[in-house]
Amino acid sequence: MVSTRSISVTPGSLTYSDLPWIIEHREDRCTLCGQCTSVCPKEAIHLSHMRQRVPKLDVFSKKRGSNYRNFTGIRQRTTMANSCIGCGMCSMVCPNDAIIAVPGTNENRTLFFENQKGEPNKRGGRRNVQGTTLLDRIMFNRISMLTDPALDAGRHEFSLTTTLGRVLSPEVFLDRKINGGWIPPTREIFPFVIGSMSFGALSPNMWLGLLQGVAYCNEVLGIPVVMCTGEGGCPPWVLRSPYLKYIILQIASGYFGWDEIIRAIPEMQCDPAAIEIKYGQGAKPGDGGLLMWYKVSKLIARLRGVPEGVDLPSPPVHQTLYSIEESVMKMIQTLSTAFNHKVPVYPKISASTSAKSVLNNLVRNPYAAGLMIDGIDGGTGAAYNVSLDATGHPVASCIRECYLDLAAQGMQNEIPIFAAGGIGKNGNVAQNGMALIMLGASGVHIGKYIMQATAGCLGNEKNRCNVCNVGICPKGITSQNPKLYRRLDPDLVAERVADTFMSIKTEVKKIMAPLGRSQSLPIGMADALGIADKDAAERLEIKYVC
Amino acid sequence: MCRLALKTSNETFSPYEVLTAMEAMKEGYDGSGLGLLLRGIEFEDFKYNPRFPILSGIAHTEKAWQHLSSYMEDRGYELKYDHRYHMGPNLIEAEDRFRYFLRAYRMPERFRDKGTEEREEEMMKTRLALRKIGEENNDLTIFSFWPDVVMIKEVGWPMQIGDALCLHDGQIKSRVCMAQGRQNTNYGINLYACHPFFIQGIATMTNGENTAFVPIKEWLLGKKFPGYIGYHSDSEVFAHILHYTLKQLKLPLEAYKHIITPLSTTELEKHPQGDFLKGLRDVCRRLIIDGPNAVIGTLPDETCLLVMDQKKLRPAIVGGHEGTWAIASEICGVDAMIPDRDPTLDFQPMREHTVIVPPDRKELTIWSQHDPFPLPQAA
Ligand code: SF4
Ligand code: SF4
């Protein structure tokens, strides 16, 4: 036996089978072009020199021996910093199909070493819980059969918009119309909203590609899509452009980007779609936003009014927040005043068992234009693992409870509830969104789905990729490094935005038509929902079907 | 599907005429029940004063009948007339029918000098209280309690029910008669589930199933108005929305169509009162119906109306001449009620129309949603 010291094994030593992703490389196909190693965001693979024994057998002289050959091939690194994330970029660029990353099927020992230098693991992306979600399992089963005709999704006219903004009760509306009172502003929007992803979390090409696509949806396709900025402001020229009307500006506890916004107010050509005040988010509830230093480029620093290359963690709460009654009310009112009471202002909170009390406060706040509830399956640009994985509340029961609470007060038309968190996680975006709408949401916000569908984000629930936090996004979606984000063509992103919303629109019609609905979005039409799960049916007050 | 028939005339007529129209349309419904509403009442054996509210319903047992009588007395109502149908009881399918009643009352003393609103509220509360009593033991069914309104609902083939209650012999006549020929079979069988639906003088009956029923019902229930209850049928909400429009919001009749089937944003942008109507659509968004429905309604002043859902997926037609008009699901229904009209003048409303037969019954008003909307003062 060899002495221990002669082998270089440390406590943190790993081998290929310990890694979550294993690189399979075929020397017989590799031409050593070097494309894979140069594209790899993790420097997980490298050229290495190896020696091969070539057996030599001289039959006539009956002598055996060996020849040796030196060759160069691709090998995987086993250090934590360089462990493969399975993004697949190497195979995407390999001209010879010589390389592929496959999921390691053994236990994943890297899990125990993610806390390098005493810092728990942070990542971007998602919660990494695989399989069908509760939303995926909801069926639309009040089918119009004989007693009323099902509609033709292709030929009937459909009204697919929802209202964003505080709606008065009919009595108060008429009273104010007659006596000249304030009618709160509302917007008629497509119920699938591009959820808050900041300029900063997203690369400039991604963000502008989305905006371009949104403008196309509105101006050419007639689908009134809006997008939310996230906490990070908005490029100054966009603030002064007519595209601002498609944008929901988010203000969060770091107030990043708001210097620019306030400065731009007098020069704005139109009002923004709405203002979202972020008090919490689904992916890391109770925690503030986080933009890690890797991504604080010159441009981002300028937009946010901060020095370059520093971590930008937003505080978990707004500094002025002492009580919901006072501060939330004041903040909503102040922002409403800043935009002359012509822009809906609504808060975004993490789904939580306390959501109902927030809602009941908003009901009494005449300036609150809605409530956005973000569930545990929401995505993020950066968060601690533990926040992503284990903290939070699923969105469905939270929305349902809040809706039923409003309905009991007869207020369900007055405060629209928007839902987010895991919608379209397995690709069923229209189905998931419509299920939430029938449970009571007025609309849904989608983020990860948009990144995947419009820019080809590689992340998945098996923790593929998910390095959005460190600025090495191999697709250029969440990187601030021009070398990376130039990979992403904004025009192509815009095209995909148009594709995506056209197809969501068709699917929404395909869901509504058999239910006999076309004239208004079936908000709260829970009699059309069923699930083959007794407990879920009971909790959501929908039908148990089997 | 069910079939609907309405006749309105300056001269009183027998409800049997409308049942004949139902019979003409018999291929279109299963005949599982009959609902009748009469206005402008004339009794053969009593000179009825149209100020007296009439209580219509069924006492299923003698005990319930007595309970009803004493309850009304205790509440201060003075019985003026107690109508007895000439009955052919063996024609009635149901067993527990002690007495079909129509009883005209004088309002209690304390309401003599009260305003209309208070009197109307009292009548509704009385009806609801009796309904509640009836629901405790399932032995009393109350359809309406309102001046000049009579209602009958029963399970069975409409004509047979008409024969059972001897509606052909001129005991009761009226200037307006609405009839529907089907129990609500979409949900459970229940006498209350039969159209027409009635609340504070306003009545509607509907053809078709209301696919947006649950969200509309939840919204109306949230209003906590005492009369917005029941919902044994998905069509009951049409009566309540009409009531809400006219009585709670105090909007003109034209607003009803704007609430249940608002114009699209593009259409409203061209509308002279588009801004107001867009606002109205937003605040009443939960009351948008999705059809397929034809809604026929009548109001206390004997105005009759007909509207369609936006997609016009249920038929209805109106025809007649000065003094007499009929609305039915099918032309043969109108033919049966007014054979001597000019059928080329019959009208089938389009999705934007509200057909109104005004109380003078001179001519039809065909009102379009694209027409200027009479705004409430100063709006
Ligand atoms: S899959 Fe991605 S991280 Fe892994 S080696 Fe290939 S390029 Fe590098
Ligand atoms: S492709 Fe980019 S955005 Fe998607 S998971 Fe990877 S790093 Fe994040």
- Give the relative orientation of helices B213-222 and A395-408 as an angle to the nearest 10 degrees: 50
Q: Is the CB of A42 inside a 6 Å radius of any atom of ligand 1? A: yes
Interhelix angle for B213-222 vs B236-243, to 10°? 40
Ligand nearest to the CA of A488: 2
% of chain A residues with pLDDT over 70: 97
Which of A50-64, A294-308, A407-421, B114-128 is least confident? A50-64
When pLDDT is averaged across residues B61-78 and rounded to a whole number, the result is 94
Confidence of residue B165 (pLDDT cuts 50, 70, 90): confident
Q: Could you tell me if residue A7 is inside a domain?
A: no
Q: Is A84 in the pocket of ligand 1 (CB under 6 A)?
A: yes
Chain B CB contacts of A514 below 8 Å = none
Distance CA B181, CA B195 (A): 8
Minimal-distance CA residue to ligand 1 atom 2: A87
**Are A170 and B212 within 8 A, CB to CB?**
no
Residue A8 lies in a domain: no
| Integer Cα distance of B61 and B97 in angstroms | 7
B53 near A CB under 8 A: no
Which of A156, A517, A526 lies closest to B212 in CB terms? Answer: A517
State chain A's mean pLDDT as an integer: 91
For the ranges A263-272, B182-191, B233-242, the lowest mean pLDDT is seen at: B182-191
Test the B interface: residue of A140, A147, A363 with most B CBs within 10 Å: A147
Three-class secondary structure assignment of chain B: CCCEEEEEEEEEECHHHHHHHHHHCHHHCCCCEEEEEEEEEEECCECCCCCCEEEEEEECCHHHHHHHHHHHHHCCCEEEEEECCCCCHHHCCCCCCCEEEEEEEECCHHHCCCCHHHHHHHHHHHHHHHHHHHHHHCCEEEEEEEECEEEEEEECCHHHHHHHCCHHHCCEEEEEEEEECCCCCCCCCCHHHCCCEEECCEEEEEECCCCCHHHHHHHHHHCCCCCCCCCCCCCHHHHHHHHHHHHHCCCCCHHHHHHHCCCCHHHHHCCCCHHHHHHHHHHCHHHCCCCCCEEEEECCCCCEEEEECCCCCCCCEEEEECCEEEEECCHHHHHHHCCCCCHHHCECCCCCEEEEECCCCCCCEEEECCCCCCCCCCC
Check whether residue A55 and residue A114 sit in a common domain. yes
Same-domain status, A76 and A171: no
Judged by a CB distance cut-off of 8 A, whether residue A411 touches chain B is yes
- pLDDT above 90 as % of chain A: 66
| Residues of chain A positioned with their CB less than 8 A from the CB of B379 | 174, 177-178
List of domains in chain B: 4-48+148-378 (3.60.20.10)
Arithmetic mean of pLDDT, B238-253: 95
Rounded Cα distance between A268 and A247, Å, is 13
Tokens read off for A329: 């009310």
Q: Does residue A126 sit within a domain?
A: no
Could you say which DSSP state residue A294 is in? G
Q: Are residues A145 and A90 in the same domain?
A: no
* Strand A380-384, strand A371-374: pairing: unpaired
Other C-beta atoms lying within 10 Å of the C-beta of residue A100: 16
A148 → closest Cβ in B211, B251, B377? B211
Q: Indicate whether A158 and A109 sit together in one domain.
A: no
| Closest-CA distance of chain B to residue A353, Å | 23
Q: What pLDDT is attached to residue A8?
A: 78
d(CA B262, CA A362): 28
Would the pLDDT of B378 be above 60?
A: no
pLDDT at B247 over 70: yes
* Integer angstrom CA distances of residue A145 from A141, A513, B231: 11, 12, 21
Residue of A nearest to B279 (CA): A173
* Contact between residue B39 and residue B149 where contact means Cβ atoms under 8 Å apart: yes
In this predicted structure, the answer to whether residue B356 has a pLDDT above a threshold of 80 is: yes
Could you give the angle at which helices A204-216 and A448-455 cross, rounded to 10 degrees?
Answer: 90
Exposed/middle/buried for residue A40 (C-beta within 10 Å: 0-12, 13-18, 19+): buried
Q: Write out the residue range of the structural domain in which residue A47 sits.
A: 16-119
| Mean pLDDT score, A418-443 | 97
Distance of CA B32 to the CA centre of its chain: 18
* Interface A-B: count of C-beta contacts within 8 A: 113
The reply to whether A2 falls in a domain is no
* Residue A385 · residue A120 · CB < 8 Å: yes
Mean pLDDT of A473-482: 94
Question: Chain B contact for A168, CB < 8 A?
Answer: yes
Residue A178 sits in the same domain as residue A85:
no
CA-CA distances (angstroms) from residue A260 to A119, A236, A238? Answer: 34, 7, 11
Helix A490-512, helix A204-216: angle, nearest 10 = 50
**Among A119, A147, A176, which residue terminates a domain?**
A119
The string of pLDDT tens digits covering residues A29-58 is 999 999 999 999 999 999 999 898 988 887
Domain boundary among A73, A90, A119: A119
- Assess if residue A148 is contained within a domain: yes
Residue A129 located in a structural domain: no
Task: Give the confidence band of A313 by pLDDT, cuts at 50, 70, 90.
Answer: confident
* pLDDT value for A156: 87
Residue A39: CB atoms within 10 A of its CB come to 17
Mutate to test the pocket of ligand 2, among A90, A203, A466, A479 (most ligand atoms within 8 A of CB): A466
Kindly tell me if the per-residue pLDDT of B208 is higher than 70: yes
Domain co-membership, A309 together with A171: yes
Nearest CB partner across the interface for B209, out of A147, A157, A413: A147
Q: What is residue B377's predicted lDDT score, i.e. its pLDDT? A: 59
Give the integer Cα–Cα distance in Å for B133 and B294.
33
Tell me: do A422 and A370 sit in the same domain. yes
Chain B: residue nearest A156 by CA? B311
The rounded distance, in Å, linking the Cα atoms of A438 and A508 is 12
Regarding whether A415 and A362 lie in a shared domain, the answer is yes
| Percentage above 70 pLDDT, chain B | 96
Q: Is residue A290 part of a domain?
A: yes
Q: Which residues of B touch A515 (CB under 8 A)?
A: 211
Mean pLDDT of B71-87: 92
Q: What integer pLDDT is reported at residue A241 of this predicted model?
A: 96
Comparison of pLDDT for B231 and A544, the residue scoring more: A544
Taking the Cβ of residue B310 and every Cβ of chain A, the question of whether any pair is shorter than 8 Å is answered with yes
Same structural domain, A465 and A364: yes
**Same domain, yes or no, for A232 and A374?**
yes
Residue A366 amino acid letter: P
Taking CA atoms, what residue in A is nearest to B224? A410
pLDDT digits (tens, 9 = 90+) for B83-100: 988 887 777 777 788 889
- Is the CB of A90 inside a 6 Å radius of any atom of ligand 1? yes
Q: How many domains does chain A have?
A: 2
How far B375 CA lies from chain A's nearest CA (Å)?
A: 9
- Domain membership of residue A1 (yes or no) is no
Of A171, A235, A141, A107, nearest to A413 (Cα)? A171
Q: Looking at the predicted structure, is the pLDDT value of residue A321 above 70?
A: no
Encode pLDDT of A157-197 as tens digits.
Answer: 899 999 999 999 999 999 999 999 999 999 999 999 999 99
Mutation pick from B29, B207, B211 vs chain A, by most beta carbons of A within 10 Å, is B211
Higher pLDDT, A240 or A54: A240
The pLDDT score that the predictor gives to residue A269 is 96
Q: Are A541 and A527 in contact (CB under 8 A)?
A: no
The residue among A119, A153, A170 that closes a domain is A119
* Residue B352 phi, psi (nearest 5): -95, 0
Residue A98 Cα to ligand 2 midpoint, Å, equals 23
CA dist., res. A477 & res. A487, Å (int): 9
Indicate if the pLDDT at residue A1 is higher than 60.
no
Model confidence band, residue B379 (pLDDT cutoffs 50, 70, 90): very low
Is A409–B222 a contact, with Cβ atoms under 8 angstroms apart?
yes
Cross-chain CB nearest to A174 (options B218, B265, B376): B376
Q: Where does the pLDDT of residue A99 fall: very low under 50, low under 70, confident under 90, or very high at 90 and above? A: very high
Residue A144 with chain B: CB contacts under 8 Å: 209, 211
Contacts A168 to B, Cβ<8 Å: 283
Rounded distance from Cα A444 to ligand 2 centre (Å): 22
Q: Which tokens sit at A141?
A: 């089963």
Helices A170-179 and B274-283 cross at an angle (nearest 10°) of: 150
Task: For A396-429, write each residue's pLDDT tens digit.
Answer: 999 999 999 999 999 999 999 999 999 999 999 9
Ligand 1 site, residue A87, Cβ cutoff 6 A: yes
Answer whether B224 sits within 8 Å of A148, measured CB to CB: no
Closest CA to A451 of A379, A502, A506, A385: A379
What interface predicted TM-score (ipTM) does this complex get? 0.91
Q: How far is CA A377 from CA A337, A504, B10, B168, in A?
A: 34, 20, 67, 68
Which one of B29, B207, B218 would you mutate to disrupt binding with A, by most A Cβ within 10 Å of its Cβ? B218
- Which chain B residues are Cβ-neighbours of A171 within 8 angstroms? 248-249
Are A23 and A140 in a shared domain? no
Q: Which of B156, B151, B233 is nearest to B194 (CA)?
A: B233
Q: Between chains, do A159 and B261 touch, taking CB under 8 Å as contact?
A: no
Upper half-sphere CA count for residue B129 (Cβ side, 13 Å) = 12
Task: Look up the CATH number of the domain holding residue A26.
Answer: 3.30.70
* Of A50-64, A112-126, B213-227, minimum mean pLDDT range: A50-64
Contact B215 A174 (CB under 8 A): no
Nearest CA-CA distance, residue A439 and chain B, Å: 10
Residue B184: what pLDDT? 55
| Eight-state DSSP code of residue A444 | E
Across the range B357-365, mean pLDDT stands at: 94
Distance separating alpha carbons of residues B379 and A250, to the nearest angstrom? 35
Angstroms from B213 CA to nearest CA on chain A: 8
Q: Are residue A212 and residue A282 in the same domain, yes or no?
A: yes
* For residue B161, pLDDT beyond 70: yes
Q: Residue A156, CB half-sphere, CA atoms under 13 Å: how many? A: 24
Distance from the Cα of B264 to chain A's closest Cα (Å) equals 8
Among A136-150, A485-499, B63-77, B122-136, the least confident range = A136-150
The length of chain B, given as a count of residues: 379
Q: How far apart are CA A289 and CA B238, in angstroms?
A: 49
Nearest by CB to B215, which of A168, A173, A524? A524
What CATH number has the domain bearing residue A335? 3.20.20.70
